[in-house]
A = this chain, B = another copy of it.
Amino acid sequence: MQSPHGKTVLIVHAQPEPTSVTRQLVHASVAALRAQGHAVLQSDLYAMGWKAVFDADDFPDRARDARLSFVDESAHAYAHGKQTADVEEEQRKILAADAVILQFPLWWFGMPAIMKGWIDRVWAYGLAYGFRGEGNALRYGEGGFAGKRALLSVAVGGPAIDYSPRGINGPLEQLLFPITHGALFFPGMQVLPTFAVYGAGRMDAASMAQACGDWRARVERLFDDEPIAFRPQNGGDYPDRHVLADHVAPGQTGLLAHIGNARDTAASPVPAAALQEA
């Protein structure tokens, strides 16, 4: 049932086993989104046989044959319609979507290689970086994917306590900062706090049902929940576009300095302190 107010959501997932926690959560996403009247696009990276490796084959019509520069060739291919068909198709899906959900098992504290390769190849120069607006390169809150939302759903093998504020692995949201802030907020998406299922290797039916219910509730609030309050590059916090102004998070260094406090913004988004405890 597609309501006139329905939006379009792209789900990208990276788990080949149909009975896995990740794939059960993907089913829950699709059901929840369709029940709300949204249109669902999917990129099932394993089923697609997605080419993970970013290499010379990504540039069938090179700007320069003598030397392979990924940045220069990406810019050339994107600007001149010379990208490969698989990359173009993924870009079409993202540009058609109001939100992108990435669902994957956490492998070595990051994405499976096939999903990293989806980012590496699809995030073209001129679109996801080197995006020009009013003469300047726009990034962090503005760019080719501005106006879209993003949400990670991760299946984590270890226990939640290992990812707690003082847990041995480090807090999950901080481990994922290179993805949420670096890969998603950078090209302009508003990123929601990550949804995680812990102990994913040994879940019984009851805990799986609970996880699906919790996830479904998050999916239903996809367009309502407050995003992480990452600071936009051009919102005033980085006067030189590189470094925080002295008066912003004074004296603070590190990843969390790039997340605003609720009092800094009008919309009371998720502040840094909440992430630290997540």
A199 at the interface (CB under 8 A from B): no
**Complex contact A119–B108 (CB within 8 A):** yes
Q: For A67, list chain B residues within 8 Å (CB).
A: 17, 19
Question: Which residues of A43-71 are within 8 A (CB) of B?
Answer: 46, 50, 52-56, 67-71
Question: Which residues of A152-210 are within 8 A (CB) of B?
Answer: 157, 159, 161-162, 164-171, 174-175, 177-179, 181-183, 186, 201
CB contact under 8 A between A175 and B182, given known A52-B53, A113-B120, A254-B256: yes
**Complex contact B54–A164 (CB within 8 A):** no
CB < 8 Å neighbour of A120 from B68, B107, B119: B107
Q: For A157, list chain B residues within 8 Å (CB).
A: 71
Each complex incorporates copies of this chain amounting to 2
**Complex contact A52–B276 (CB within 8 A):** no
**Complex contact A241–B177 (CB within 8 A):** no
Write the nearest CB–CB distance from A153 to chain B, whole angstroms. 18
CB < 8 Å neighbour of A182 from B116, B169, B258: B169
How many angstroms between the C-alpha atoms of A257 and B108 in the bound complex?
19
**Complex contact B117–A52 (CB within 8 A):** yes
A29 at the interface (CB under 8 A from B): no
A83 at the interface (CB under 8 A from B): no
Q: For A183, list chain B residues within 8 Å (CB).
A: 108-109
**Complex contact A243–B167 (CB within 8 A):** yes
The 21 sampled A-B contact pairs (Cβ below 8 Å) are A16-B56, A16-B68, A52-B113, A71-B157, A107-B120, A108-B119, A108-B186, A109-B182, A113-B116, A116-B116, A166-B243, A166-B249, A166-B253, A168-B238, A168-B241, A168-B243, A168-B258, A170-B258, A174-B177, A175-B255, A254-B256
15 additional A-B pairs beyond A108-B182, A113-B113, beta carbons within 8 Å, are: A17-B69, A53-B114, A69-B201, A108-B116, A108-B183, A110-B179, A110-B182, A113-B117, A166-B243, A168-B233, A168-B238, A168-B242, A168-B244, A168-B258, A175-B255
